[in-house]
Structure 1
Amino acid sequence: MKNIFRILSCLSLCLTAWLAPGLTARAQLQQDTTDVRNLPIPLFKNVNRTAYYSDAKKLDQIKRLEQKQDWPALYKALKAYVNNFGIQNFYKDTYYLWRLAKLSELVGNPDEARMYYRLVLKHHRSDIDLRTIELHYNELNKNEADLYVPLEYYYELVDYRRQVDTLMPPRSVLLNMGENVNSYMEDYGPTLNFQNTLMILTSKRNVQQVGIKKTVNEDLYFSELQDGVWSEAEPLEGINSQFNEGSATISRDGKTIYFSRCDSPDSYGSCDLFMASQQPDGRWGGVKNLGANLNSIAWDSHPSLSQTEDTLYFASDRIGGFGMSDIWYSVRSRSGEWGPARNAGPVVNTRHSEVSPFIHPRYNILYFSSNGQNLNFGEFDIFKSYWKWGRWGEPINIGPLVNGAGSEFYFTIDSEARDLYYAASKQDKMKTWTFTPFRCPWAPSRWPPPSSRAR
């Protein structure tokens, strides 16, 4: 699979920018036109309207056109039908996606064909011949493969960094956060304020033992950046309780924290999303559940605010999604109420699991972790998606300099897009690490930010 999807690995960590000066003008143009960030993505307007779309008359028309072998008309009719898919159609009617991908090839639209093949690979069940799809996808990509950084080049960089003296590390080297932040227990779910001076993380260091019974409580802790050094992590009083708290995100003004709380009597499901406000004396309080519109009877966690702070993205394993867990979002009304949860759609979500959504505070990029996308280096990898045409584009693996053989999730990126803080699985524990990636040309997008006003 990695060879088939080599085209996607080019976009991780902006390393393609290193090759641009050496490309011919023609190759540069080809690179621009095949960049997955610029491909039109169907709206799939029914994803949050109907569970399953079916129209017998249109299906009869599609069948007649196929019998007549009227390929242009069939392409048009099938595309219109597929673009009306609900969530269940993607795994029940994957054949139509597969047929549309082949028709897109036939009418001379290889970029569109690639997009539909990717959807087939993300959502197929057992009734699709994957080998055939892979052959088609690989054939479409063969002419563009040489325009991208080979996978082996990334591994050479990784090997080089193993030989670097970490006492004075250059950029792009993994650094453990140290004993001030990390503990002997699991530490994960870091988030930063907009000024990059306050970190809130989740930890299981609060262990209570009475006799032979040991209880591990999941709590929120904070650390402040003082003279370039992160202070010793302290419990976030006013929010932590006898229940489990974690996965926080903080508003731009630093006065509101959104977080998850589990096993609480005022929850609708196993874990719900809550909010807390900073009180006049500087302490945290006013904790309240975000309500039944947003929360479900299942697991809801990993909140992240949009730039405009009127949309809250989160992960949930509620019934009605594409896979085991999906990325969802809720839009806040002008009266301050959170609206019904909406699914982020079939381009971002897969038949497996998507978790840990993170909206960058300055740039229109959604980061998240997944074990179901078309290119994974390990178990859960970190991906990014660009906001274009009023929707999220094809996810891009950020590459093996971050994503390893284990799982990478629970992360945040500073507002200057310089440092990536994340949890990586190391044997049987997770620790919070900081990764300083290559400086990428994060030019602000001219497209509107992902908010209710933009939709």
Structure 2
Amino acid sequence: MIIRILFCFLLLPFFLQKAHCQLRAVSESINLEDSSQLAEQKRIQTLISFPNVSRIPYYTDKQALQAIKKYSNAKNEAALYPVLYDYVSKFGIENFFKDNMLLWQLAALEEARGDTLAAIQLYKLVLKHYQEGVELGLVQDQMKKLLLENKDDFVPLKYYYELVEFRKEIDTLRPPQGVYINMGNEINSNAGDYGPALSPDNSLLLFTSKRNTIRQGLKERENEDLMFSRNESGYWMPAEPLTPVNSPYNEGSATISPKGNQLVFTRCGAPDGVGSCDLYISDMQEDGSWGTARNLGKSVNSLYWDSHPSFSHTGDTLFFASDRTGGFGMTDIYFTHKTVGGAWSAPKNMGPVINTRSSEVSPFYHPGHHVFYFSSNGHLLNFGEFDIYKSHRLEHIWGEPKNIGPLVNGQGSEFYFTIDAQSKNLYYARSVENKMANLDLYSFPLPMEAQPLATTQLKGSLRNEETGKPFSNGIVSIIDLDNGVEVAPKFLRSDGSFEFQLINNNNYLIVIQGDEFFRLEEIFFLDGDKEFHRKVASVSSRLKFENMKFDNGKAELKTSMFADLDKIIDFLLDNPDFTLKIEGHTDSDGDPQLNLDLSQRRADAIKSYLVEFGKLDPSRIEAIGYGSAKPIVEEKTEQDKQLNRRVEFNIVRK
């Protein structure tokens, strides 16, 4: 019996843990051997570093602005470009919303010069920081021409899972499924539990909980405390309060230094506080306990809300979120570093690539890679409210953030999260009802889109092998065969293209399905950026295969027929709203009744194969033998007879 292993992969990529822009965005890996591309990449990095962001609130130069206006009116792009480029590169924070149109103007110039990479980066900045009055629709239209990744590229999970459910009775292999796992009663309580943080060796889990209450007079009030749990032999022990860090005030959002000797957390409402919520630090004592916490002071904390700290690899840089004045949006991400004397420096804004006119929170520096994660409701690709994004370090700046995809980011908000050092699991709070009340901590296998090493580009296209035209109605699935990491499937774009970011040096299976073509399946090894351009046969209403030829006077199937029959099986399994009519035909030699019987037996044999090996519903397949009643040519030669001896497949949508 044929074991249809490849088929199961087609619709189960989740279970395995529109002209297309041919240049990569800044956040993506580049071929360092391409010196011209590397030089261009560095030029763009220099532009988007915006050194004035943390130095001055607003940059202006009347003489330069007059020159920009003069050259613009004269449509002298050659003279305009260097002046405008220099001016934009000196932007302060306020320039991004006050002079947003200059960003747009420079983006259009870069595009006109043929520099799509720079144009994309600048158009993104326009959209991230636009204010009322800007011709937003025009910018969005221009972006659509560049066809960047958007939410519509991804297959909706509900639809995909429905297809999987339909096929569960016929799949012979069950790849592992990424499942949200509640961390259990040892960690979660009947109150809100959220804000997880792991020690560098993953042995200690810190999180915030509202399980403890404080009595004030005759009433009890909810109190946020830090809790901890130790991992022993793969199991999390019952959570305990983190004393003496906890106080009558609210504590939460902790981070542990790489050496495990310092703890930074948030405390709100304390009398020694600078603002509403401040960052505090505590040192590990010789006996393994945490010492008295001290406020990081006015050099770091503001008069407002400062929270969500995260250490860098070396422990000398601290990232955090704040709603202090002077930022790009509602809440921005900042960083501070230790000076030579051990004090923490004045915080600097992470800049306009990371921060937007909306809110960025929950910074997280991956413990094993130079990859920066955070949550935002202001970036361009967004599946819900707050989504999680990742950004790779590019020398002295951070690259364009990428959404980590719909397997994690849903219709609600995803923040307060952490990732283990091995990039196996994402830990964060969620509720089944998608409400903020009664949050529980969950773990979830880290999908491909969130993996720190998923930087190698696979891009390709699918076309009709007869006409050369692109197929635009189809689903592309990628399966990691080595690690079982889930990859969110995508639709083919209008030009037949697709694109994924994958982990290099792994074996993958690509499966492309649709109702206009026969499924494509191919295993490949990813060794650097790869282009995957293929042509496949179109599915017309009436099909005839060259290999569907029986021996003279016989109705037994031959092995040469199996590949074509398997294509039919795959198509019918992929498209349950189609039925099949099998038509058997013979030439005019011999007795007409015997020919009729022979053609019927041949059609029946094919139907039996499809039903038995494809597990197809027999009611979807009609087998009819016509004998010699329907010739396609007049029989004058032996070749004419061969043409009339045929089996045709008529595929019909219900």
Q: Same fold (TM over 0.5)?
A: yes
- Which segment is superposed worse, 435-444 or 187-196? 435-444
Q: What TM-score, normalized to structure 2?
A: 0.60
The corresponding residue for 1:252 is 258
Paired with 1:308 and 1:162, the residues of 2 have a C-alpha distance of 47
The corresponding residue for 2:330 is 324
- From 137, 152, 155, the equivalent of 1:152 is 155
Matched, 1:125 2:131: yes
Q: Is the 8 A contact 2:256 2:264 kept in 1?
A: yes
CA 1:162/1:242 → structure 2, altered by over 3 Å: closer, same or farther? farther
- From 64, 71, 86, the equivalent of 1:58 is 64
Q: Is the 8 A contact 1:300 1:316 kept in 2?
A: yes
- From 309, 314, 319, the equivalent of 2:315 is 309
- From 89, 100, 105, the equivalent of 2:106 is 100
1:224 Cα deviation (Å)? 1.1
**1:13-38 CA distance string (max 9 Å, x none):** xx9xx9xxxxxxxx9xx767457424
Paired with 2:415 and 2:392, the residues of 1 have a C-alpha distance of 19
CA root-mean-square deviation: 2.7
Q: Is the 8 A contact 2:25 2:120 kept in 1?
A: no
Matched, 1:68 2:74: yes
Paired with 2:72 and 2:113, the residues of 1 have a C-alpha distance of 14
Q: Is the 8 A contact 1:406 1:424 kept in 2?
A: no
1:438 Cα deviation (Å)? 3.4
The aligned amino acid for 1:310 is D
The aligned amino acid for 1:54 is T
CA 1:208/1:218 → structure 2, altered by over 3 Å: closer, same or farther? same
The corresponding residue for 1:84 is 90
Q: Which has the higher contact order (CA 8 A, sep 6+)?
A: 1
CA 1:33/1:116 → structure 2, altered by over 3 Å: closer, same or farther? closer
Matched, 1:368 2:371: no
- From 441, 451, 454, the equivalent of 1:432 is 441
Paired with 1:265 and 1:238, the residues of 2 have a C-alpha distance of 17
- Which segment is superposed worse, 340-349 or 435-444? 435-444
Q: Give 5+ residue unaligned stretches, structure 2.
A: 1-12, 30-40, 169-173, 456-654
The corresponding residue for 1:3 is none
- From 268, 273, 281, the equivalent of 2:274 is 268
Q: Give 5+ residue unaligned stretches, structure 1.
A: 1-14, 19-26, 446-455
Three-state SS of the structure 1 residue aligned to 2:101 is helix
Instruction: Quote the sequence identity (%).
Output: 46
**1:252-305 CA distance string (max 9 Å, x none):** 222211101110111110011011111122211131111211111110000001
Matched, 1:346 2:349: no
Paired with 2:409 and 2:287, the residues of 1 have a C-alpha distance of 42
Paired with 2:196 and 2:358, the residues of 1 have a C-alpha distance of 24
CA 1:414/1:160 → structure 2, altered by over 3 Å: closer, same or farther? farther
Paired with 2:175 and 2:216, the residues of 1 have a C-alpha distance of 44
Matched, 1:216 2:222: yes
The aligned amino acid for 1:433 is Y
The aligned amino acid for 1:151 is F
Paired with 1:432 and 1:367, the residues of 2 have a C-alpha distance of 18
Three-state SS of the structure 1 residue aligned to 2:190 is coil
CA 1:49/1:382 → structure 2, altered by over 3 Å: closer, same or farther? same
Three-state SS of the structure 1 residue aligned to 2:155 is helix
The corresponding residue for 1:37 is 28
The aligned amino acid for 2:368 is R
Three-state SS of the structure 2 residue aligned to 1:47 is helix
Matched, 1:176 2:182: yes
Q: Is the 8 A contact 2:23 2:116 kept in 1?
A: no
Q: Is the 8 A contact 1:313 1:327 kept in 2?
A: yes
Q: What TM-score, normalized to structure 1?
A: 0.85
CA 1:405/1:195 → structure 2, altered by over 3 Å: closer, same or farther? same
The corresponding residue for 2:206 is 200
**1:313-336 CA distance string (max 9 Å, x none):** 000000000001100000111211
Paired with 1:158 and 1:223, the residues of 2 have a C-alpha distance of 35
Q: How many equivalent residue pairs? A: 414
